Every structure is written in structure tokens, then in C-alpha cells.
A and B are shown apart, each in its own frame.
Chain A
Amino acid sequence: METKKLNVPVMADLHARNEKPEYLFWVGCAGAFDDRYKKVVQAFAKVLSYLNVNYAVLGKEESCTGDPARRAGNEMLYQMQALQNIEVFTMYEVKKIITICPHCYNIFKNEYPDLGGNYEVISYVEFLDNLIKDGTLKIDISKFADAKITFHDPCYFGRANNIYEEPRNILKSLTASVIEMERNRSSALCCGAGGGQMFKEAEEGDKEVFIERTEEALNTDAGIIATSCPFCMTMMTDGLKYKNKEEEIKNYDIAELVALSLGL
């Protein structure tokens, strides 16, 4: 198969050429720095470029949204991050933002407006679901036709923002066997990493939350655990390792599954 180099468009370069992309693709810190999650960002960038979406990333000008600081109680640090980011968005006249991380999605959509940052914020699951629905994105159904996939709802798409069906629609376009865990949608169990937990030791208890959730996922007999959040991915992948299941059962992000089905 012939390939060509993919140059991810960067906002500053476009700005220098007096161009304005339709979408800002917000990569997020995990997308930039977490080795496993970089693959998810790469997959989604490939899908965007494959579909000729007019987008750009901020690159070195991106900075943490402030979510982990805010939920850990550091409102001061959050607002400093937010106001700086809003300045950058204003400079580039950003109108539409696509995020892959649910935490970034939530903070842009619900919390930046309080500080004067109003944008059309689109989660990648909504974005992909719409493109599949309108026929722009044609999934090769042969790739995952025999796969059994279970979906772990991220709290910040799910309960926080009522995005439940979009990720499922995408998965159902890949395979007929989308199996629900016992606790799903608004009853889904958190992976255990939200609210700053990702970065600290868990408090004393009988069990780690991610193990409880991984066991629930394993009970479905699915071969693939689909996630749509960088924190959930870290947790579910760790859970599979803890259970010595990482060889048989794979954890993919929805963006990766779509990219794989497109042969990207």
C-alpha cells in the first residue's frame, strides 16, 4: 500500500499564511505526552486528514485546560490556565473545537463560558457518529465483524454530558456484537481516575476501582474493551495487565477502532 507523509497542520503556521481552519483539534496533555494515548491522537488525526477535514492543532501553544487542578480544588490555577487558553483561542479566532478527551470537552463546553470563552465544542464521538450517519465516513465492516466489543462509559461524556449513544452507534457500525457491562450508561462505574485520582495514590480500601471495573468488563466475554478517555484507557489497560489478560483482551480507543477499520 502506498503511503504519504502526514503533516499535521499547526495553527501558528496557518495563521502565518493567513489561513483559518474550520476546527481546532484539541490534542490534550495525555495525547501529547502519554505514550499509549499518543496512538489514539495519531489515529484520530489520520481519520481527520483522511476525511479532508479542515483542522489544525495548537502544538506547542497548547496548555492544560486546568481540569485536574479545578477538580482537585485549585480554582486559582484552573482560572489562570483557562484565561490564558481563552487568550490563545481569541488570537486565532477559534470558533469550533473538537476534543477527544472527555474532561477537556466538559471544561470547554460547560466551564469556559463562565470566563468568557464561548465555542462550539464537539466531542470526537459526536463528530464521528455524525459523519457515519451522513455517509461521509464509510466503515469497512469486515475488519471487526467477528469482534465482541464492550464499551466503558467515561463519566465526563456520560453522566456529565449525557453522551451515551454516540459511542455505541460508532461501535455498532463496526460489529454486531456490542456487549454491555452490567453497569452501563448513567449507571456506569467510574474507572477510578477522575477528579485528580489519576495523579495520586488511592485512599485505603479493599480494592482498586479500576480492578473492580476491569472485572466487570471481563465478565462480558468481550475481546475488546473500547474506551473514549485517556484516563479510562490507562486504568483499563492497567486492569488487563493486573489480571494477566493483556494478551487475549485488547483495550482500544474508539478513534483507533475507526482508524483500523478504515485501514489507516
Chain B
Amino acid sequence: MDQIIFAITLLITLVVFGFTASRYVRLFMLTKPAFPVRDIGKRIILVIEVAIAQSKMFRKPFTGILHAFVFWGFIVMLFGSIEMVIDGLIGAERSLHIFGGLYDFLIAAGDLFALIITVAIIVFLCRRLFLHIKRFEGIEMKKVSHIDAKIALTIILLLMITLLGLNSSYVAYQNNIGGEIFGVYPVSIYLAGIYTNMPVDTIHVHHEVHWWAHILLIFLFANILPYSKHFHVFMSVPNVFLSRLEPLGKLPNMENITREVKLMMNPDTAFAEAPDDAPVERFGVLDAEDVSWKNYLDSLSCTECGRCTSVCPANITGKKLSPRKIMMDLRSRMKDKSKGLIKKGKDYSDDKSLIRNYISEEELWACTTCNACAQECPINIDHPKLIVDMRRYLVMEEGSAPGGIKTVFNNIENNGAPWQYSAEDRMIWSDNLELKK
């Protein structure tokens, strides 16, 4: 009976998850190319450094180490969760103990991490509930963002409590009936003391309750994540793997512009290069479907930690721009438009757009392209590329830019310099230069 109930819940979990995933895949199919994924070796090293070793998290050491414990703990605990699924399906208990020493090690690590993560999550919750941390505030941090964060933290806390409960009742039960204990439990062996005066049956009930609560929470969590900022849990490691490997200063080239410019400069050769059936593309990004898959992946990986915004020179000095908001806006724009996009494809319109209805021109023009946000992001989200892509739309499709910028364009076009000086005067600086003998 238990096995059947378990199999059904697992199936429901997988079906719901599969449905969610298929929607995301279809949205990704609508996005534009970013770059070919090459240099797999380099990418693996990046994952080891930035994801596994959490190198960029340690730019803030205190929260960095706490988060690292949560991350490492999750990885270790994955083993135990897989075991629970196997146990649930075949109606066994601790079935992976056949791995022997490795099993003991992983289970012991998971037991220890459960305690450490409990402490870390309590610290995180306290930071959100009682401390007024500037990084967690901002115009983009609506009530729902805060609730989202607290729900995820609470679920993780409950996951840890049920895991410790499950482990300690298991130890107590086996001790009581004189059975063999599989695995090593550095923390739960002490917690098992709670059950000292309990009847065996009651301990067994405790164990069952913790077991089911833990696995159901995992299933629930897995299906809540894709609809919350904590999609981060799934997307951040792939996002690091799929980082742009070029220097932060490099903007991607627009090939369609190159064709046009070459056509202007030398009509004969460019005609030969231009593919006949090249579709007329929009320059830059106006709306969600104009972004590249990398931009969209960035937005889904963002967990709203706000490190980007906390180092943004525009934001620090009170301007509206917040790099975190740019990512959150792209994510919610895609979500709001997803139904229509999936049904009707790229041509679907709801008379709204990412620029203006979500992100104002004022925000876009406040960016200094200093790359502090991209540098700071623990999972290599690249905000400035998207900001420049939106500027590209404004300038090249609408001819819209602040007055000073328009003057610069004119000056560069007319005199080859951002200022209104003649090229004839370019050597004035070298007049009357003297050098000691």
C-alpha cells in the first residue's frame, strides 16, 4: 500500500515537473542565439571554482560561508534523497547501505550538514525578519519577493528538521529493537536521546511521519522552485557552466549591423556575403522574446540576493537603476507573456513591452557599463549586456536617446570625435613639446 501511494505521489511530482519544464523549454526555443558553447574544459573549471567552491560568494565572507554550507549540504543530501525514492518504490529501508564505507561517509556528512544548515537558515531568516539589510530592499523588492524568500527558507528549515527527526528516530528505533544501524549519525545519535522513554511503536510512528514529511516536502519544493526566485537551486550551476567566457569588457558583435555597414561602405562585396533569405530582425531588445537564451537563463537563475545592486554606482547614488530589477523584470515579463508566446509564438502581442512597461528608459540610461554588477554576481549573471541591448533598440529602432548622447553621435559622425572639434586640430597637443637632452 505504502509503495503504491509513494509511486503515485512520485508520478504526480514528475508529471507536474515535466509540464513546467516543457513550458520553459518552449520559452527558451523562442529566445535568440547568444554564443556557441565551446571550451568545455574551461567551463568545467569555472563550475568547480565558482559553483562548487563558491569563490564569488566569499566576497562577503560571513553569508558566503553559510551559503556554501547550504550548497555543499544539498549536494551531499541528494544521495540520501535518491535512497529515499528507491526505498519508497521497493518498500525497503536504507537500501543503499550496500555502498558500505561511502554510504557511511555520505550519510554522516548529510546528518552533520542537516544541523549546520538548520543553523544557517535560522541566521538567514533572522536577517530577513529582524535586521534591516539594505541589500534586501529596493523598488523591485515587493512584498511578494520577501514572502517568496521566507517561504523557501521555511521549507528548507522544515526539510532539515524532518531529516534530523527521521535520522534520530531511526537510530532510536533500531537501538530499541536491537537491529543493525546502517550509516553513521554524528548528530542524530545524540538527538535519539529524545526517544529514550518512548514505546517502540510510538518511535516507529515518529519515524514514518518524518520520513513522509521529508520526502513530500522535497516533492513539493521541487515543484514550487520553478515558480519562485529559488529556481536558482536548479539553474545556477548550469548558468555558471554557460557563462560568457570573454572578458567582461567585451560586447557581442551584431552581425546584421556588420552586413549593413559593409553594404554602405562597399556595396559589391557585401552583397555577395549577405544571405538572400535573411529575415528582417529587430535591432536590440524591446521585449522578452528579443533576448538571448543566456539573458533568459540569467534571469531564471537570479535569486535576488542584491549583490549586484549593492555595488551599482547608479543605485548607490540614488538613481532608479538596479541591476537586480533588470533581471527580475525580464523574468516576470517572460512569465506574464508566456501563455500567449507558447500558444501563438513570437508574433504574439499584448500591447506591452519589457522596455517602458517594466523597465524605464531612465533606468537604462543610468548605467555606466562599469560591470561591477556582473563582477559581483556569484553565479556570473551578466546584466550590462542586456542593458546595452535595450539601448540598442532605443537608439537604432526609435532614434531615442538623451540629448547629450545624440550630440555625441552627431559629433562622431561629423568630426570623428565625441566633441565638436575638427580632425585638423588633433595634433595641437604636440606643438612646442620639448624634451631634455
- 1/0 per residue, CB under 8 A from A, across B346-384: the answer is 000000000000000010011111111011100000001
Contact across chains for A114 and B253 when beta carbons are under 8 A apart: yes
Q: Given the interface contacts A4-B434, A115-B253, does A193 sit within 8 Å of B368 by beta carbon?
A: yes
Chain A residues, Cβ within 8 Å of B71: none
A173 at the interface (CB under 8 A from B): no
Nearest A residue to B411, CB-CB: A64
Check if B370 sits within 8 Å of A111, measured CB to CB. Answer: no
Closest to A185 in B: B375
- B 279-305 binary contact with A (CB < 8 Å = 1; else 0): 000011000000000000000000000
**Taking A72-B405, A199-B405 as contacts, is the C-beta distance between A33 and B437 under 8 angstroms?**
no
Q: Nearest Cβ distance between residue A30 and chain B, in whole angstroms? A: 9
Output the least CB separation between A87 and chain B (Å). Answer: 9
The A-contacting residues of B in range 396-437, CB under 8 angstroms, are: 396, 401-405, 407-409, 412-413, 416-419, 421, 423-430, 432-437
Contact between chains at A110 and B249 (CB < 8 Å): yes
Give B321's nearest chain A residue, CB to CB: A203
Report chain B residues within 8 Å CB of A194.
Answer: 368-370
| B100 lies within 8 A of chain A by Cβ | no
Q: Is the CB of B248 within 8 A of A159?
A: yes
How many inter-chain contacts with C-beta < 8 Å in the A-B complex? 249
* CB-CB contacts below 8 Å: A106-133 with B: 106, 109-111, 114-115
- Contact between B433 and A68, CB atoms less than 8 A apart: no
Minimum CB–CB distance for A22 against chain B, Å: 19
Q: How far is the CA of A64 from the CA of B401 in the complex (A)?
A: 19
Known: A41-B429, A46-B435, A73-B392. A29 touches B417 (CB 8 A): yes
Which residues on the B side are within 8 Å of A49 (C-beta)? 435
- B405 A3 Cβ-Cβ under 8 A: no
Of all chain B residues, which has the CB nearest A207? Answer: B317
**B134 at the A/B interface (Cβ < 8 Å)?**
no
Find chain B residues with CB under 8 A from A188 CB.
372
Residues A214-262 near B (CB distance < 8 A):
none
* Chain B residues within 8 Å of A187, by CB: 59, 311, 372, 375-376
Q: State whether the Cβ of A42 lies closer than 8 Å to any Cβ in chain B.
A: yes
Q: Mark A195-217, 1 if CB is under 8 A from B, else 0.
A: 11111111111111100110000
**Neighbour of B396 across the interface among A32, A59, A75, A213, CB < 8 A:** A75
* A29 with B247, Cβ < 8 A, contacts A114-B253, A190-B368, A264-B435 known: no
The stretch that binds A, out of B124-132, B209-217, B260-268, is: B260-268
A181 at the interface (CB under 8 A from B): no
Among B320, B404, B424, the one with the most A-chain Cβ atoms within 10 Å of its Cβ is B404
Give the residues from 60 to 87 in chain A that come closer than 8 angstroms, CB to CB, to chain B: 60-64, 66, 68-77, 79-81, 83-84
For residue B141, CB closer than 8 A to chain A, the reply is no
Interface stretch, picked from A5-13, A135-143, A144-152, is A5-13
Is the CB of B391 closer than 8 A to any CB of chain A? yes
Residues of A within 8 A of B264 (CB): 80
Cβ–Cβ contact A209 & B317, under 8 A: yes
Interface centre among A190, A194, A207 (most CB of B within 10 A): A190
Contact of B251 with A71 in the complex, beta carbons under 8 Å: yes
Q: Taking the complex as formed, is B52 at the interface, i.e. its CB lies under 8 A from any CB of chain A?
A: no
> 1/0 contact trace for B300-342 toward A, CB 8 Å?
0000000000010110111111000000000000000000000
Give complex CA distance A198, B376 in Å: 24
Given contacts A49-B435, A187-B59, contact A199 B426 (CB under 8 A): no
Q: Cβ of A1 and Cβ of B368 under 8 Å apart?
A: no
Roughly how many angstroms separate A162 CA and B412 CA in the complex, as a whole number? Answer: 29
The distance in angstroms between the C-alpha atoms of A64 and B414, with both chains bound, is 11
Q: A199, B418: Cβ atoms under 8 Å? A: yes
Residues A5 and B254 in contact in the complex (CB < 8 Å), given A59-B427, A73-B401, A155-B370: no
What total of chain B residues lie within 8 Å of the partner, measured CB to CB?
77
Tell yes or no: A45 within 8 A of B by CB: yes
- Across the interface, B402 reaches (CB within 8 A) one of A32, A64, A201, namely A201
Contacts of A203 in B (CB 8 A): 314, 319-321, 362, 365-366
Among residues of A, the one whose C-beta sits closest to the C-beta of B416 is: A63
Question: Could you tell me the distance in whole angstroms from the C-beta of B249 to the nearest C-beta in chain A?
Answer: 3
Q: Which residues of A contact B396 (CB under 8 A)?
A: 73-76
Q: Decide if A161 is an interface residue (CB 8 Å cutoff).
A: yes
Distance (Å) between the CB of B59 and the closest chain A CB? 7
Q: Across the interface, which residues of B come within 8 angstroms of A27, CB to CB?
A: 426, 429
> Does A189 have its Cβ within 8 Å of any Cβ on chain B?
yes
Q: For residue B247, which residues in chain A have a CB less than 8 angstroms away from its CB?
A: 106, 109-110, 160-162
Give bound CA distance, A255 to B262, whole Å.
38
Contacts of A72 in B (CB 8 A): 391, 395, 401, 405, 408-409
B2 at the interface (CB under 8 A from A): no
* Chain A residues within 8 Å of B426, by CB: 27, 32-33, 59-60, 62
Task: Tell me if A156 is interfacial: C-beta within 8 Å of chain B.
Answer: yes
Asked if A134 is at the interface of the complex by the 8 Å CB criterion, the answer is no
Q: Which of B261, B368, B376 meets A195, CB within 8 Å?
A: B368
A45-B433 in contact (CB<8A): yes
Q: Which residues of B contact A59 (CB under 8 A)?
A: 426-427
Q: Which residues of A contact B (CB under 8 A)?
A: 1-8, 10, 27, 29, 31-34, 38, 41-42, 45-46, 49-50, 57, 59-64, 66, 68-77, 79-81, 83-84, 106, 109-111, 114-115, 155-156, 159-162, 186-190, 192-209, 212-213, 263-264
Residues of B at the A interface (CB closer than 8 Å) are 59, 246-251, 253-254, 257-258, 260-262, 264-265, 283-284, 311, 313-314, 316-321, 362, 365-372, 374-376, 384, 388, 390-396, 401-405, 407-409, 412-413, 416-419, 421, 423-430, 432-437
Give 18 CB contacts A-B under 8 Å: A2-B437, A4-B434, A5-B434, A6-B434, A6-B435, A38-B429, A46-B435, A69-B412, A79-B261, A81-B416, A83-B262, A187-B372, A190-B370, A195-B370, A200-B402, A202-B319, A202-B366, A203-B366
Given contacts A33-B426, A60-B427, A71-B391, 9 further A-B contacts (CB under 8 A): A6-B430, A45-B430, A49-B435, A60-B423, A62-B423, A115-B253, A195-B369, A204-B318, A263-B436
